[in-house]
Amino acid sequence: MKQTKLIMGMPITIEVIDAHITKSDINKIFDYFTEVDKRYSTYKANSEISQINNGLPKKLWSSEVKKVLKLCEQTKNETQGYFNIHRNGQIDPSGLVKGWAINNAANKLIKMGYKNFYIDAGGDLQVKGRNTMNKAWTIGIRNPFNREQIVKTVAIKNKGVATSGTYVRGFHIYNPQKNYKSVNEIASLTVIGPNIYEADRFATAAFAMGLNGIEFIESLVGYEAYMIDNKAVATMTSGFESYVVQ
């Protein structure tokens, strides 16, 4: 069963291969993403994040938001400050929340007893088990200069794949080490990680590092990356080729 809905300002697709999947269970996952959007959206005036940015006292913050903001601070420390949710006196944890939410949604499906599925939210994916052909899931990496073209296809099982880039949303990732200057040295950076939460947060930070981001991912155990710079030159980490099928 496969369904797509527009939530959090992006298409979210869920496909579950297991025969006993029900529409009700998939809708529970979509409902979860809706709740995440209501709490963390910076575009909704009544979201908890918007209320915090408007001065909501810390004692009124939910325990979940406190946990997420703590994860953001942890990521900032792990990335030498390149992951930073603070800007102009406001906070925006969306660079972590999307991957965190996808990972939570995947864990909910696992708890329901499903073993073979994928969740794709705006191009960031978590896969589990095998596809309809009983093989590893295949994921295409788009050419940021021609979105109709797939430049690499990777085969993965039980992994997360996150791509940071400017070709969909424009320049929206900034370098906090250079007075939040927009990053324009690279066009896209795809990271394969142990799960989508880890892949997504480090993809955001690595993109903010510009051309040095690929070296940062290379230094992490259990991660691989594929970077395309603004001159359409590709660079990959030493183990990325092992995932490539095309």
What is the band of 183 on the pLDDT scale with cuts at 50, 70, 90?
Answer: low
177 phi, psi to nearest 5 deg: -80, -15
Read off the tokens for 154.
């990777």
User: Residue 171 pLDDT more than 50?
Assistant: no
Tell me the CATH number at 148.
Answer: 3.10.520.10
**Tens of pLDDT, residues 48-83:** 999 999 999 999 999 999 999 999 999 999 999 999
What is the band of 173 on the pLDDT scale with cuts at 50, 70, 90?
Answer: low
Residue 147 confidence (pLDDT): 86
Tell me the whole-structure pTM to 2 decimals: 0.93
**Tens of pLDDT, residues 202-244:** 999 999 999 999 999 999 999 999 999 999 999 999 999 999 9
CA distance 212 to 50: 33
CA distance 153 to 60: 46
- Residue, of 12 and 184, whose pLDDT is higher: 12
Residue 62 confidence (pLDDT): 98
Nearest partner of 186 among 155, 156, 217, 154, judged by Cα: 217
Residue 244 confidence (pLDDT): 97
Structural domain of residue 126, as residue ranges?
Answer: 2-243
Domain count, the chain: 1
Longest dimension (CA), the chain: 52
